[in-house]
């Protein structure tokens, strides 16, 4: 019973901070930044792959 009550109060706290917009905005910003980082990492990997493909083609050609 006690555990359930503490869980509920934690959820209520989270909801209240979400309503105030503080944690929600920071969470959203973090997500946005991590997604942008992933995109840039992917494009770097893509260019490396493209270069290695061209290199292999020049060897076999």
The distance in angstroms from the start CA to the end CA of the chain is: 73
Higher-pLDDT residue of 2, 34: 34
pLDDT at position 33 is: 83
pLDDT at position 11 is: 73
Whether 21 has a pLDDT exceeding 80, the answer reads no
* Range in 19-23, 36-40, 49-53 the model is least confident about: 19-23
Residue 34 DSSP label: H
Q: Which pTM value belongs to this model?
A: 0.36
- 19 pLDDT band, cuts 50/70/90, is low
The residue written with tokens 């060897």 in the block is 59
């Amino acid at each position: 019973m006690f555990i359930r009550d503490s869980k509920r109060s934690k959820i209520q706290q989270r909801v209240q901070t979400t309503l105030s917009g503080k944690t929600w905005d920071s969470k959203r910003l973090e997500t946005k930044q991590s997604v942008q980082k992933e995109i840039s990492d992917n494009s770097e990997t893509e260019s490396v792959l493209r270069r290695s493909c061209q290199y292999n083609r020049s060897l076999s050609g």
